[in-house]
Structure 1
């Protein structure tokens, strides 16, 4: 009975900081606005998922701001947990698609570790699986299955971590091969494939660090240090994801668009054309 009463109000083990939530809400609003502008001006439609990830971050921190004065209400708790948790999976979808288009753009399909026709599908479907598994955790929590919700989140994060590890290795091996056997297209000055690869390494590493932190957070549970101290979320999740958006925007992959991009195909249809 005591456990039931405890669960009725202990959504937070601290009062969420309103200034911190507001600052990051504004940061992600600004970054998402920049990404939206870049998306539509360059017509790089496969980056739609990335921009949606920024929108998820905004919603998550709005929920966190609301929770400052509503720590016993389930709505803001679910809002911030779900949207902040899932935003990186949307970032990941565009990141995975970037590598596939980069390989095609430099005409180096034969140098890819995984067949290019399967490359994007493999990683994006893994990302979808991670999204669905983590997303179901909220419904399990609402129904009272906290232990299963915890397992769902950890499983989803583990899938994301494994996917990024394999993705990282695939990108590294591709870079090694194309440096040994450069294609004519890779020598053209207008295709910044090296910068694009470095950008992918950076954003992937940041999301991997964030995933490791989140796995530790959920493994330790409510009595663990991360869930008892708010600063850990901002240092190991909020800040890295903001940096991911800054890096991706700075080296936006608009120069590696496929032919269908250049011809102006329909945005959503194109995003899922390879998946």
Structure 2
């Protein structure tokens, strides 16, 4: 059977005829991640509605996109040559982490609003506008490259190099923007410690800050992996060995989003009224201390 005919419908692995993946995706891994991301999505939806933290919807949306992507890989485990399943997973699993980073950008902005403008070099709203814009630019670049490369990958002797190079440029740009965000977040922590802001808060915000750090680390690891993977090309070692994708993409992303199911902003982030009351109390204490020192 001609390979072009294998791209339509469902056909089992043919000896000697390679797939676009370089392997046949594992059925168990596909099902496991569909279930895990699906559960996280449902929990985030319930938590969002319960605590009315509507901005956390980005975590649920990101999980939905991950579910679609892993469903495509599950489909490919039974129909490894199907081009629709391949395109379905490659496009969605590139996009999904952007929703998680958007949630983290908003969360850092919430921290800054709670602790005061002196805790950050940027205004809270700027984190969302600057870094989400960078993510969108990265996604457009990756989408263009991904469309070109995946289209060639499903052809016999197709040239995937131009599209792959564009994809690498997009993901390197994303890695760069995440790196800048990490530096800004580190500066936020430094400023908060220097002004004794974190020490004055109740303990609830500290686990949430830890969850944000863990999520950023996981996303960063995934970005480094995808950069190296794509730079090796579609026949490279990393992209043709599924275990790396399962561990350095799937596992990293489920940790990055599920940590906010366990440590959810709706439960732990102080509300604005409590924050203002705390600030007034601190200011009152400082005024009283100044009066005592003057007397």
> TM-score scaled to structure 1, two decimals?
0.83
Residue in 1 aligned with 2:127?
Answer: 119
Q: Any stretches of 5+ residues in structure 2 without a counterpart?
A: 8-17, 153-158, 274-295
Matching of residue 229 in structure 1 with residue 241 in structure 2: yes
**1:1-275 matched pairs, under 5 angstroms:** 10-106=19-115, 108-141=116-149, 144=152, 146-183=160-197, 187-189=200-202, 192-254=204-266, 255-256=268-269
CA shift digits 1:217-241 (9 cap, x unpaired): 1111123111221111101111111
| Contact preservation (8 Å) 2:160, 2:234 | no
Indicate the RMSD between aligned Cα atoms, in angstroms.
2.4
Q: CA deviation at 1:245?
A: 1.8
- Runs in 1 of length 4+ with deviation above 6 angstroms? none
For residues 244 and 131 of structure 1, the distance between their equivalents in structure 2, rounded to whole angstroms, comes to 19
Change (3 A) 1:257 1:234: same
For residues 29 and 126 of structure 2, the distance between their equivalents in structure 1, rounded to whole angstroms, comes to 41
The total of aligned residue pairs comes to 253
Counterpart of 1:16 in 2: which secondary structure? coil
Residue in 2 aligned with 1:270?
Answer: none
Q: CA deviation at 1:161?
A: 1.3
For residues 169 and 197 of structure 1, the distance between their equivalents in structure 2, rounded to whole angstroms, comes to 15
CA shift digits 1:141-184 (9 cap, x unpaired): 3554732321232122212211221111111111121122135x
| Contact preservation (8 Å) 2:22, 2:235 | no
CA shift digits 1:91-111 (9 cap, x unpaired): 1111111101110022x2122
CA shift digits 1:60-108 (9 cap, x unpaired): 11101111122222100011111112111111111111101110022x2
Q: CA deviation at 1:186?
A: 7.0
Q: CA deviation at 1:15?
A: 1.1
| Contact preservation (8 Å) 1:44, 1:257 | no
Q: Any stretches of 5+ residues in structure 1 without a counterpart?
A: 261-275
Change (3 A) 1:122 1:258: farther
| Contact preservation (8 Å) 2:193, 2:199 | no
For residues 91 and 148 of structure 1, the distance between their equivalents in structure 2, rounded to whole angstroms, comes to 28
For residues 247 and 241 of structure 1, the distance between their equivalents in structure 2, rounded to whole angstroms, comes to 10
